[in-house]
Amino acid sequence: MSEHLDLETIRDRLIAFLTNAGCNAVGVCNQEGLEGGPPSTDLTRQLEGARSAIVVSYPLDDHKLELYMGKIDHEPYQKEYIQVNNIVQGLMGETTNQLHKFGYAAEVVYAGNTPADGTPLDVMPSNERQREAALLNPAGEAYVMMGILPVISQRMLAAAAGVGFFGMSGNILTESHGAAIVLGACVTAADLLPTPALDRDANYCDECDWCGQACPTSFMSRTDFTTVKMGEHDHHKYSARLHPMRCAAHMQGMTGLSEDGRFSSWGPGRKQLSQNDDELFPSLIEIATDTARRPDVPGGFYDAQKGIRTNIMCSACNLVCHPERKVRAKRLKMWTQGGVTIQHEDGRVEAMPRDEARAYLDAMPIERRALYEDV
């Protein structure tokens, strides 16, 4: 330990470090303030004896995200998203390093901290707190089956720590940059004093539903909502999330065209997933097989565990959401009127008006066209 400091000084110094490093919001939550949230808010699931968590938001570049939302260029935003994720992981790694030097155990919470991403930690309720939490916040069957429940939910921690608030999309919205941010967190045995959840008046979500309109698939329910109470704070409700593969198919570019055929995410596929969840997997297997036979889209995350690259092809629900309503309206227009996506033989994706995209597809040899649409 470099010097003996009280916990308040340690907390304030770490917040200053993270704010100076470019985070647009930094907060702290503790076990008490997370009480009542889902099992993924029990910090001890990741670190035995954990008492608190430091949570950050780091903003994405507005210009690059508007090139992406306007369907002008895919690559700069994809690179930006990967770089900001790496910056956030680096900042949280350094924060844990600092906590160790102050004499406290600490660990980074990785964004993909789910069994499907290879974490060995158990995400099923394993103590009384988690069992009660699971009853209050039941997990969706598909999320359990697919192993995509997080060990620790960064979103929940961010809401409790006052880094941001839930919008109807279920994303965390920050006061300065909306949902165009990357979250990061670390858990620690240091009993750091929490920062308060943001006041209801700070939440700019006016339930405009432009996140829902930007979504090319049926993922956000219009009729069912999720509400979470953590500590003494009732958080803003958000749309219940439907089958996660509907979102994943767009995020990974397996499919792209919206259900109404008017616009697309950056995925070049046009085949639609079945509307019936029971028939979802057969349609998904077909489009996943097509995707594996298409040329690789340049760039993307390289997953060292799986040895594969994954592209970023959607995120419209969070990128559309800006504190200023006129910016939100502009981004929705850009996304939904920016054309539909085709893929070139070298793998590049490009958006163009619907009639040009139709002509591009019609000119393809039939076996190539069949990788994108029903022929």
Interface residues toward ligand SF4, by CB under 6 A: 167-169, 205-211, 214-217, 219, 247, 250-251, 265, 314-317, 320-321, 328
Q: Are 173 and 159 in contact (CB under 8 A)?
A: no
Shortest Å, Cβ 168 to ligand SF4: 4
Comparing C-alpha atoms, which of 297, 300, 333, 303 is closest to residue 316?
333
CB-closest chain residue to ligand SF4: 167
Q: Angle at CA 145, nearest 5°, toward 139 and 148? A: 70
**113 is written with which tokens?**
């901290």
Shortest Å, Cβ 249 to ligand SF4: 8
Cα 35 to Cα 233: distance, rounded to the nearest angstrom? 10
Which one, 98 or 154, has the nearer CB to ligand SF4?
154
Which one, 7 or 208, has the nearer CB to ligand SF4?
208
Shortest Å, Cβ 20 to ligand SF4: 29
Shortest Å, Cβ 83 to ligand SF4: 19
Q: Considering only the C-alpha atoms of the chain, give the largest distance between any 2 of them, rounded to a whole number of Å.
A: 71
Cα 164 to Cα 136: distance, rounded to the nearest angstrom? 22
Which one, 265 or 283, has the nearer CB to ligand SF4?
265
Cα 157 to Cα 30: distance, rounded to the nearest angstrom? 9
The CA dihedral of 297, 64, 79, 214, to the nearest 10 degrees, is -60
Shortest Å, Cβ 81 to ligand SF4: 12
Shortest Å, Cβ 133 to ligand SF4: 24
Cα 291 to Cα 142: distance, rounded to the nearest angstrom? 22
Shortest Å, Cβ 172 to ligand SF4: 10
